[in-house]
Amino acid sequence: MSQLAAPNAGLNPAVKILSDGQAFVEEWLRRVLPACETPPARLHQAMHDAVFPGGRRARPLLCRLIAERYDGGDSELVGRMSAAVELVHCASLVQDDLPCFDDAEMRRGRPACHVVYGQATAILVGDALLTLAFETLSNVPSRLGTVAFRLIGLLTSATGSSNGVIGGQALELEPLPIEIGHYHRHKTAALFRAAAAGGAICCGAENDVARWARLGELIGCALQIRDDLDDVTGHQTDLGKPIGRDAALGRPNMALRGSPEEAHAMRKALLDGVRELLGPATPGSEALHLLIEEVTRPSRV
């Protein structure tokens, strides 16, 4: 588990909420993933290794925390949406690490999927995790079918080529300079947008969906700037993955396009927008504030 699930979590109610949220997400991910022994066993083992152990689980935690701002929603619906968002994220990491993309040999402090299992299996892992995300949402009880159908549409858009992660991955391959904010909104913010809006939709909070979607987008953009800064100024031992890849591969990076100081300023402006939407920290929102702080802070500031 990440630092959000500290051993003394009981001393701080907000940390305890995050720790409980992580346990909720982990339980749902284990529930929906095929058992490692189920044929094809090598593929299913590789899928488990791509998902566990995870990072902070920021996207599914955002979904759950926003649902808890209301009545918590239906636990199964929130669990399936949280797991589905994280499965898409994990699929994108496996794809990003492939030699034809970032050619990264480490992920989360361990050898990347393609290093352990080979490129062919890694490609299938990405395909399988994406498919499983939508299967997870489609397997809801019939009483939840209408809401699940809407969540599937939301996640489809956040995953696809026009407004989602796959489009963001494709933008990295464009031969011409791209508008970096547009790239960030696809590559990283799309899943945060879907997770935040999904949390509200799970609770029927229709009047607030657009506000939460905007908050998720701002968080995602701030996190991507954090990643940009980490790639330029961080250390591999701190991050558990290679650094300097954006410069080596000519990838869009705000800290390279301008300067680290300008990137920090943009990150601060985005987080100011998040705070404006979220309002002052209260006992009911402290965990959400803590999550945002943890996932957007660069490793070296």
DSSP reduced 3-state for 107: strand
Q: Give pLDDT, residue 282.
A: 83
Under 8 Å between Cβ of 123 and 46 = no
Average pLDDT over residues 55-81: 94
pLDDT tens sequence across 144-192: 999 999 999 999 999 999 999 999 999 988 887 889 999 999 999 999 9
Given a cut of 90, whether residue 211 has pLDDT beyond it is: yes
Q: What is the mean pLDDT of residues 85-100?
A: 97
Residue 68 confidence (pLDDT) = 93
Q: 3-class DSSP state for residue 111? A: strand
Mean pLDDT of 83-108: 95
> Is the per-residue pLDDT at 76 higher than 80?
yes
pLDDT of residue 300: 60
Mean pLDDT of the chain, nearest integer: 91
pLDDT value for 3 = 46
Contact 42, 120 (CB under 8 A): no
In 3D, which of 52, 96, 83, 128 has the Cα closest to residue 224? 96
Tokens of 155: 């996640």
Average pLDDT over residues 198-206: 95
**Average pLDDT for 95-123:** 95
* Confidence category of residue 11, pLDDT binned at 50, 70, 90: low
d(CA 239, CA 237): 6
pLDDT value at residue 2 = 43
Q: Is residue 106 classed as helix, strand or coil in its secondary structure? A: strand
Residue type, 168: G
Residue type for 163, please?
N
Residue 9 has pLDDT above 70, yes or no: no
> Could you report the per-residue pLDDT of 220-271, keeping only the tens digit for each?
999 999 999 999 988 887 777 878 888 888 888 999 988 999 999 999 999 9
Q: According to the model, what pLDDT value does residue 191 have?
A: 98
Percent of the chain with pLDDT over 90: 77
Give mean pLDDT, residues 31-50. 98
CB 270 within 8 A of CB 281: no
Strand ranges (DSSP E) for 175-278? none
| pLDDT value at residue 273 | 95
Average pLDDT over residues 91-113: 94
Give the chain's domains with CATH numbers. Answer: 9-296 (1.10.600.10)
Element (H, E) at 246: helix 245-249
